[in-house]
A and B are shown apart, each in its own frame.
Chain A
């Protein structure tokens, strides 16, 4: 296990380097500069000095080299926009995003997986049909629209929850954005679980277990659930990445202080260090979660070995 972990950690290095390089190159070729973002009346002479001070006149490879050198010391650079260390900025925004993503994931798993199970146990029945209609709707619904509907319903009409803001970071502020973000993966989990369970139900080992006289409850619990969990876990792993991407819409809509909105604001204002820092953190989080999922595979299914 330890050697597996070390190997996987080493494998992330080229991935991270490739992402950093890609972002660097992209922001070297896109039009628009930090000088014009900062002042629409910047004297050309000042613009030149500013670029010099920020090291923007150096060739891309020099800047890239400097950046990598700084990264190795844990320094993400200084934001062009706020003049704050990017590490501080990203750290402030990472926790709210994690809160949002994990709550959304918990909501989607806790609702989606049982829904898929129940639907699969009585295929073609009323619950199955209703669950699948819900799943298709959940997958097709636009987050922005869903968020507004939830705000309208739970804040304006029922008065149960605040419609926006971070507040003290408590659950009542977190619920609406997390549900908005979680509905789509919830629908996906319902569908995936249903498909997985239906497939496993017809597998040879399930038939064998039944023929040996095992009760249906034990069959579902020991054979179906355990095997379906591996598939569900894969989907959860993939969905984490998706949620990070989709969080930006929700963060913007609900004035949630996450890393997604930091990234978008930084892109729009050509704040390259902040863009790089945000992307890097998102990528690292994604890689860490995938690693965690891989470890969990082994816990659930001993057949998966870490050779």
Chain B
């Protein structure tokens, strides 16, 4: 189902991927990727950083228990050859690969997996991957300092691990990101590890020039026969879109993420049009409304906001078509996306009527906290303000830095804010952010509480039948749409330009820049040696 959806939203990209499959991958060459998200790599200890930027290199250097398979549209086991589920869906037994070697030549064992998850739960370090490992029984106790080891993890033998979960979820969605990369036990505790990381991935670490690039080279003992194809991967930090544009046109880099303005320019350029790949990423952009601020406590007011804004106009004119209109929370590439859902129409009259019914015939005033982000920040807010003004709602802008916005959102210190939040790939996890048991600082940023929603979602969580689960998730998503805790703005359309000599690009909806590097290869037309 997800594959079909990706095919719809990224026909062009698939055509490119399809042509790549038709050729025989070439061994050798250098892949030159770019890290486009502004600043330097946060750290070479990938457990410490949740930024998409860092995972670009980590996908080549490290491996987790699962991996995202873009063709299948779901996480699949990576470091395990076999996974047996028992205990009513709560116990997972992983038969690990016995041919996975760390870059120091040591074979990975069950001890490494257990050591890694225990490390991530060190409550004194606030490792961001803790949010995923918390689904293992006893992990929270380690985080709180009440236990030394995660009780739900058991070594059966050197290559078998048993994992007891606290709830019936697919652990694949929790253990595929680099935040839960498996480290070599003991070696990773040494100070030198931060300078010279050791992973299980297809490429090993060579060099880090902070603020400029990371260089990796082929790991010959990688467990997938014949892979990786390339000899070397270079990931350059290039936060400036205009500089990336020159470098891409100058054939100095093989991939470049495009912003709205470049998206338009590349589409219009016959030489560059064919380089574009695009995918609906699992991020929803929205304006969150605080129910503690009186007008927003009324559902009709929240719905009125959705009716009052000409969202299509903003997507077309300001975002330059580099987004998909949101129809509730779950994005197009979510396995539970309901394509029968329609977005709120632009209907200011209906908005006025709803406001009058809610007791605000003259409208009201609120403070809107925003960052400067061009796709979901100040420019969007500035365009929306006159639209809201037309129905009597006055918005005052409060501009903050992105880091401050993250804190404002977590602490609930706002009347309204505009943000981009992960809404996938696991629809259950994405919707759980609206469950009343989810604390606001976790991801229930609008402090949403609705008993009926909780009930449906709990039922979905218990459902064994996949179809039934999807049906319940769609029902919960529809209820969320009706309750409108947010203005449903858009789902991100990620766009990347890819040089014609680079093949094997995966249309990864979790983050397009995150490529399983062993699948990539460059043909002989690449100008890089």
Contacts and interface: CB of A to CB of B under 8 A. Distances in A.
Indicate the size class of the contact surface on chain B.
35 or more
Contacts of B49: 38, 81
B111 interface: no
B40 A46 contact: no
Given A53-B124, A152-B246, A41 B211 contact: no
Interface stretch (A6-14, A195-203, A262-270, A293-301): A262-270
Interface string B124-143: 11111011000000000001
Contacts of B123: 43, 45-46, 49
Contacts of A37: 403, 406
B404 A32 contact: yes
A163 B243 contact: yes
A92 interface: yes
A93 B211 contact: yes
A219 B144 CA distance: 80
A124 B404 CA distance: 55
Given A43-B143, A152-B246, A155-B246, A268 B401 contact: yes
Contact of B443 (A41, A82, A148, A255): A41
Contacts of A303: none
Contacts of B523: none
Contacts of A156: 246, 249-250
The interface residues of chain B, by DSSP majority, are classed as loop
A264 B39 contact: yes
B194 interface: yes
A251 B212 CA distance: 9
Interface stretch (B84-92, B233-241, B476-484): B233-241
A84 B39 contact: no
Q: Looking at A52, A155, A261, which has the most chain B CB atoms within 10 Å of its CB?
A: A261
Contact of A32 (B127, B209, B407, B443): B407
Interface string A250-276: 011111111001101100111000000
A255 B212 contact: yes
A32 B250 CA distance: 39
A75 interface: no
A283 B258 CA distance: 37
A151 B252 CA distance: 12
B130 A46 contact: yes
B441 interface: yes
A204 interface: no
A288 to B, nearest CB: 23
Interface residues of A, number: 55
Given A39-B126, A151-B246, A33 B42 contact: no
A232 B239 CA distance: 36
Nearest to B422: A40
A302 interface: no
Nearest to B213: A165
Contacts of B252: 155, 162-165
A40 B50 contact: yes
Contacts of B313: none
A40 B211 contact: no
Contacts of A52: 124
Contact of A42 (B126, B238, B400, B402): B126
Nearest to A169: B209
Interface of A: 31-33, 35-47, 49-50, 52-53, 81-84, 89, 92-93, 144, 147-148, 151-152, 155-156, 159, 162-166, 251-258, 261-262, 264-265, 268-270
29 contacts: A31-B407, A32-B407, A36-B403, A38-B50, A40-B128, A42-B126, A43-B123, A45-B123, A45-B144, A47-B126, A52-B124, A81-B49, A82-B42, A82-B43, A82-B45, A89-B210, A148-B242, A162-B252, A164-B246, A164-B252, A165-B212, A165-B236, A166-B212, A252-B240, A253-B240, A257-B211, A262-B211, A268-B39, A269-B403
